[in-house]
C-alpha cells in the first residue's frame, strides 16, 4: 500500500504554502520566515527600514516615518505582513497595538491592521489620533483601485490618550458569506465593543470579499498621515492572530491536504503516544485510520 501511496505522491502537487493560522507574539526576536515586508505596487517594493524597526521586549516596535499607501502616493515604509490563503468561515484576525503619539500633532496619525492585495487595494482598521482634540478613536478606511475613502465603521466615542493609548482590534466572520464584525477593546473591563456600522456585508467592500475568497496579506501598519517632525510616534504591536477552523487531514496546517501531510503520517506510521499531529483522530496511535483521513481529504484546500 505504501508503494501505491508514494507513486501517488509523484502525481499530486499543491501550490498553497501559506500559513493557515498565525499566532505571532514577537517573543523570538525575529519574524518567522513566512513574514515579509514587500507591498506590491509600493515604492520601494520592500518597505523594511531596519533603523526604524525593533523586535524587543515582546513587541514589534515601529518608529513612524513619512510614507503612505494613500491613493497614488504608495510610498509606505515598514509594513510587515503575512500572506494568507482564502479564509474559511469562522475566521478572526486580532492584534493589540499601542500608539505612542510623542511629538505628532495636527495629523490623523494611525496604526493598526491592513488587509491588502497591493498598494492600491486594501482595508485599514486602526487606532487614530484626532488632530483637533488630541484624542484617540478607532476607525476604518478602504482603498479600491487607488481610490481611498472612509469605510464607515468607527468607534462611537473618542478618549484621551491619558486614558489609554492601547487598543485591541478584532475582525471576524462567523458564517460563509456572512456579515463581517468589527470590535475593539480598551482593556477597561468592558470587553469587546462593536464599531458603529458593524456588522457589515462583505459585498460592501469588494477588496475584503476578494481577500476572504482568494487570500492576500495581513499587515501591521503605521502612517503619519502627512505629519513630519522630530520625536516621531511609535507603534508597539503586541501580537497578531489569524485563526480559522482547521481542515481535517491537514497535518502541517498549511491549508492544503497534500503529499506533505501524507508523508508525515507515513513517517510516523505505527508511532504511539500523545500529542502527535499525525495522530489525527487522537487515539494514541498513528495507523490506518489517520492515513485514510488524509487520503479521503487529499486535495482539500489546495
Ligand atoms: Ca494607494
Ligand atoms: Ca498540509
Ligand atoms: Ca490515530
- Tens digits of per-residue pLDDT, 159-218? 999 999 999 999 999 999 999 999 999 999 999 999 999 999 999 999 999 999 999 999
- Grid coordinates in use for 17? 504554502
Q: Quick one: pLDDT at residue 85?
A: 83
- Is 75 contained in some domain? yes
- Cα separation, 129 vs 2, in Å, equals 61
| CA 254 to ligand 2 center in whole angstroms | 5
CA distance 134 to 104: 10
Work out the angle at residue 95's Cα, subtended by the Cα atoms of residues 94 and 101, and round it to the nearest 5 degrees. 145
What's the gap in Å between 250 CA and the centre of ligand 2? Answer: 4
Residues 255 and 227 in one domain: no
For residues 152 and 191, membership in a common domain is answered with: yes
Do 48 and 149 fall within a single domain?
yes
Contacts of 4 by beta carbon, 8 Å cutoff, 6+ apart: none
The boundaries of the domain holding residue 66 are 22-243
Residues 255 and 225 in one domain: no
Q: Mean pLDDT in runs of 10 for the chain (302 residues)? A: 47 52 89 93 97 92 96 97 91 97 95 98 98 96 98 98 97 96 97 98 96 95 94 97 91 88 96 91 95 94 80
Distance 40 CA to ligand 1 centre (A): 10
What spacing in Å lies between the alpha carbon of 290 and ligand 3's midpoint?
Answer: 5
- Tell me what pLDDT residue 19 has: 67
∠ CA 85-88-94, nearest 5°, is 80
Q: What is the pLDDT of residue 11?
A: 44
Helices 288-297 and 259-268: crossing angle, nearest 10°?
Answer: 180
Do 54 and 170 reside in the same domain of the chain? yes
Cα of 66 to ligand 1 centre, how many Å? 14
If you measure from the C-alpha of residue 277 to the centroid of ligand 2, how many angstroms do you get, rounded to a whole number? Answer: 11
**What is d(CA 217, CA 149) in angstroms, rounded to the nearest whole number?**
20
Q: How far is the CA of 297 from the centre of ligand 1 (A)?
A: 40
Q: Which CATH number belongs to the domain containing residue 237 in this structure?
A: 2.60.120.200
On whether the CB atoms of residues 88 and 23 are closer than 8 A, the answer is: no
Tell me the CA–centroid distance for residue 21 and ligand 1, in Å: 27
How many angstroms does the Cα of residue 273 sit away from the middle of ligand 3? 10
Cα of 35 vs centre of ligand 3, distance in Å, is: 33
106 and 167 part of one domain: yes
Q: Is the pTM of this model over 0.95?
A: no
Length of the chain as a residue count: 302
Q: What pLDDT, on a 0 to 100 scale, did the predictor assign at position 8?
A: 46
Residue 129 DSSP symbol: E
How many Cα neighbours within 13 Å face the side chain of 232?
21
Ligand nearest, relative to CA of residue 274: 3
Same domain, 198 and 252: no
- Which ligand sits closest to the CA of 269? 3
**Nearest ligand to the C-alpha atom of residue 277:** 3
pLDDT reported for residue 70:
97
pLDDT (0 to 100) of residue 103: 94
Name the residue among 10, 2, 3 with its Cα closest to residue 259. 10
pLDDT for the residue numbered 254: 81
167 and 37 in a common domain: yes
**Is 302 inside a domain boundary?**
no
In a domain, 96, yes or no: yes
CATH number for the domain spanning 270: value is 1.10.1330.10
- Are both 252 and 216 inside the same structural domain? no
The pLDDT assigned to 200 comes to: 97
Cα(45)–Cα(48) distance, integer angstroms: 9
Say how many domains are in the chain: 2
C-alpha cell at 82: 503575512
Determine the pLDDT at residue 159. 98
Amino acid at each position: 500500500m505504501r508503494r501505491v501511496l508514494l507513486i501517488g505522491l509523484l502525481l499530486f502537487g499543491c501550490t498553497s504554502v501559506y500559513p493557515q493560522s498565525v499566532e505571532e507574539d514577537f517573543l523570538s526576536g525575529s519574524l518567522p520566515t513566512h513574514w515579509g515586508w514587500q507591498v506590491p505596487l509600493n515604492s520601494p517594493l520592500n518597505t523594511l527600514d531596519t533603523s526604524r524597526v525593533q523586535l524587543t521586549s515582546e513587541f514589534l516596535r515601529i518608529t513612524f516615518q513619512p510614507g503612505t499607501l494613500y491613493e497614488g502616493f504608495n510610498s509606505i515604509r515598514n509594513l510587515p505582513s503575512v500572506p494568507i490563503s482564502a479564509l474559511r468561515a469562522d475566521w478572526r484576525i486580532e492584534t493589540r497595538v499601542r500608539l505612542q503619539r510623542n511629538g505628532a500633532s495636527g495629523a490623523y496619525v494611525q496604526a493598526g491592521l491592513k488587509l491588502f492585495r497591493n498598494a492600491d487595494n486594501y482595508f485599514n482598521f486602526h487606532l487614530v489620533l484626532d488632530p483637533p482634540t488630541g484624542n484617540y478613536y478607532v476607525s476604518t478606511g478602504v482603498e479600491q483601485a487607488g481610490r481611498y475613502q472612509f469605510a464607515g465603521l468607527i468607534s462611537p466615542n473618542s478618549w484621551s490618550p491619558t486614558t489609554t493609548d492601547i487598543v485591541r482590534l478584532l475582525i471576524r466572520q462567523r458564517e460563509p458569506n456572512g456579515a463581517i464584525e468589527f470590535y475593539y477593546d480598551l482593556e477597561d473591563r468592558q470587553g469587546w465593543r462593536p464599531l458603529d456600522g458593524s456588522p457589515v456585508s462583505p459585498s460592501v467592500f469588494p477588496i475584503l470579499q476578494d481577500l476572504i475568497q482568494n487570500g492576500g496579506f495581513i499587515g501591521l501598519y503605521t502612517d503619519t498621515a502627512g505629519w513630519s517632525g522630530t520625536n516621531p510616534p511609535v507603534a508597539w504591536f503586541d501580537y497578531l492572530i489569524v485563526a480559522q477552523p482547521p481542515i481535517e487531514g491537514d497535518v502541517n496546517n498549511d491549508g492544503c491536504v497534500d503529499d506533505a501531510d501524507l508523508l508525515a503520517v507515513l513517517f510516523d506510521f505505527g508511532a504511539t503516544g500523545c500529542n502527535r499531529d499525525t495522530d489525527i483522530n487522537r487515539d494514541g496511535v498513528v495507523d490506518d485510520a489517520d492515513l485514510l483521513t488524509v487520503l479521503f481529504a487529499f486535495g482539500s484546500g489546495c
